[in-house]
A and B are shown apart, each in its own frame.
Chain A
């Protein structure tokens, strides 16, 4: 049976894992390579890392960090943040990423999804979607939720699938960073409208939240703070899920 994936997410600036609510009060949580190694050894099913400050100067160090991480882990690695064109995707795959996640660039230029999946295969193209409720509608947002696009969430999710995305990384900006649980309602809407895997992201604060995430039919559950702060380790999360009857890799 296919296992539900537990995926720690590293928000990275250069080579440091950071934490900040809405980019304010950014706090260094640790060294990215050390943390990646730790998660790989302690049972993470996949690792996600995002360049959250993809400026030209920081990018070089970030790519080097991707290379170093790819060398020390042997689980799949998804890398995103600041991906704007095909050459960015190629650079990250060459640095050792298994999958590349595209967000704003896909919204601005949806053709990029098709071009990338034709060149590298759908299996390595993840489209990250940030969703937010706006005037009773679920909309796609970019720039960390500051800009509401004209795209309706479900229409966009279906569109990225038909353009060749292999997976959707779904973050609700309504629940992200506040640790009150995943946005079950939003996630269920997405999973029931697409047939590609969906990774749930945004809002985990307790063990039960992971279980509620599983119930949305998301096949991957992503979390950052609860792992980085050592509130839970991956084994505890998996043991808990297993006790609730969720298939996990123990």
Chain B
């Protein structure tokens, strides 16, 4: 049987160690293989791509540009291929990011990444918070509804279509904690740091899609 190929993009935006290990544990003994993407790649040779990210939107976009990853990644996403973006890896699916400087994103899910509106909030939004599912999903199933995940971010997805928001979280305001369009998923939290529910989410993404 042909093995499914999972690509893990190392956008030099934070440590990929935890997510790398989580994926390896999940696919052990199963017909999958994991490849780390660090440069231009053939988008047709991957069944799934995961992009974790930390830090600033502009930094991740410029890293991906330097590594020549933007073009194949855009093609991959425009084909509606399976994708999981984590934190900034989710945010860059948007049209524009407004962190540090205005930066064009991948333009896959329409909307912008802007700072939390309430200036009395403790920022970054750091710690465990609850996700509320808007609808049932084959991967992010009802079992994840009202569960806590680990967040650390100061910017959120805004001006997004309601239909692209799979789950929301409350922190001074409602904001999208999971976005989804076709086979493309983005999570604002860090499933790789979110103990068992986080690992189950990664597991579902890999095995159920």
Contacts from A to B (Cβ < 8 Å): 1-5, 40, 45, 70-71, 74-76, 93-94, 96, 98, 120-124, 166-167, 195-197, 219-220, 249
Q: Is there an interface contact between B193 and A121, defined as CB atoms closer than 8 Å?
A: no
- Pairwise interchain contact A3-B126, C-beta atoms closer than 8 A: no
Q: With A94-B15, A121-B56, A124-B54 given, is the CB distance from A74 to B194 under 8 Å?
A: yes
Q: In the bound complex, do residue A120 and residue B55 qualify as a contact, i.e. CB atoms below 8 Å apart?
A: yes
A196 B195 Cβ-Cβ under 8 A: no
Contact A2 B125 (CB under 8 A): yes
List 25 interface pairs A-B (beta carbons < 8 Å), by A numbering: A1-B129, A2-B128, A2-B171, A70-B18, A74-B199, A75-B194, A76-B190, A76-B193, A93-B15, A96-B18, A98-B18, A120-B55, A121-B13, A121-B14, A123-B124, A123-B126, A124-B14, A166-B126, A166-B152, A195-B122, A196-B123, A197-B122, A197-B127, A219-B122, A249-B148
Partner of A123, one of B54, B128, B192: B54
Most chain B CB within 10 A, of A40, A74, A120, is at A74
Query: Measured between C-beta atoms, what is the minimum distance from A190 to chain B in Å?
Result: 12
The interface residues of chain A lying within 8 Å CB-to-CB of B152 are 76, 123, 166
How many B residues are at the interface, by size bracket?
35 or more
Interface centre among B170, B192, B195 (most CB of A within 10 A): B195
Kindly identify which residue among B13, B55, B124, B193 contacts A74, using a CB–CB cutoff of 8 Å.
Answer: B193
Does B17 interact with chain A (Cβ within 8 Å)? yes
Which residues of chain B are near A4, meaning CB under 8 Å? 127
Contact A123 B130 (CB under 8 A): no
A236 to B195, CA, bound (A): 19
B208: interface (CB < 8 Å): no
A185 CB to closest chain B CB (Å) equals: 20
Q: Which 8 A-B pairs have the closest CB atoms?
A: A121-B55, A3-B128, A249-B128, A249-B148, A123-B152, A197-B126, A2-B129, A5-B127
Question: Is A74 a contact partner of B195 (Cβ separation < 8 A)?
Answer: yes
Question: Looking at A121, A167, A197, A220, which has the most chain B CB atoms within 10 Å of its CB?
Answer: A121
Smallest CB–CB gap between A177 and chain B, Å? 26
State the majority secondary structure of interface residues on A. Answer: loop
Residue contact B198 to A74, C-beta cutoff 8 Å: yes
B residues in contact with A3, CB < 8 Å: 127-129, 148
Closest B residue to A5 using CB positions: B127
Which of B127, B130, B170 is in CB contact (< 8 Å) with A219? B127
Least CB distance, A78 to chain B, in whole angstroms: 11
A1-B170, A249-B148 known; A122+B15 contact, CB < 8 A:
no
- Once the chains bind, are B128 and A71 in contact (CB under 8 Å)? no
Alpha-carbon distance A133/B11, docked complex (angstroms): 45
Q: Is B161 an interface residue, CB under 8 A from the partner?
A: no
Whether the Cβ atoms of B128 and A166 lie closer than 8 Å is no
Distance of A123 Cα from B189 Cα, bound (Å): 13
